[in-house]
Amino acid sequence: MKIVPYFFGYEFNSSVLHFNDLPTASDYFASQADNLATTSNYSLHDADDFASTSNYSLYEADDFVSTSNYSLYEADDLMSASNYSLHDADDFVSTSNYLLYNLHCFMPACCLNACMKKQPPLHQHGKTDFNNKTNQLTRATEK
Inter-residue contact 4 to 17 (CB < 8 Å) = no
pLDDT in the model for residue 102: 59
**Helix pair angle (130-142, 109-116), 10° resolution:** 30
Inter-CA distances, 36 with 29, 31, 39, 50, 100, Å: 10, 8, 5, 20, 91
Q: Kindly write down the DSSP assignment for every residue of 76-102, as one continuous string.
A: HHHHHHHHHHHHHHHHHHHHHHHHHHH
Average model confidence (pLDDT) across the chain? 63
Lowest average pLDDT, out of 4-18, 19-33, 74-88, goes to: 4-18
Count of residues in the chain: 143
Q: What is the pLDDT of residues 25-70, one digit of tens each?
A: 666 667 777 777 777 777 777 777 777 777 777 777 777 777 777 7
Whether the per-residue pLDDT at 73 is higher than 70: the answer is: yes
Strand partners, 7: 10
Q: Which helix (H) or strand (E) holds 73?
A: helix 22-105
Q: How close are the terminal C-alpha atoms of the chain, in Å?
A: 160
Count of C-beta atoms within a 10 Å radius of residue 136: 19
Percent of the chain with pLDDT over 70: 41
Q: How confident is the model at residue 75 (pLDDT cuts 50, 70, 90)?
A: confident
Inter-residue contact 93 to 85 (CB < 8 Å) = no
Q: What is the pLDDT of residues 99-140, one digit of tens each?
A: 665 555 555 555 656 665 655 555 554 444 444 555 555 555
pLDDT in the model for residue 106: 54
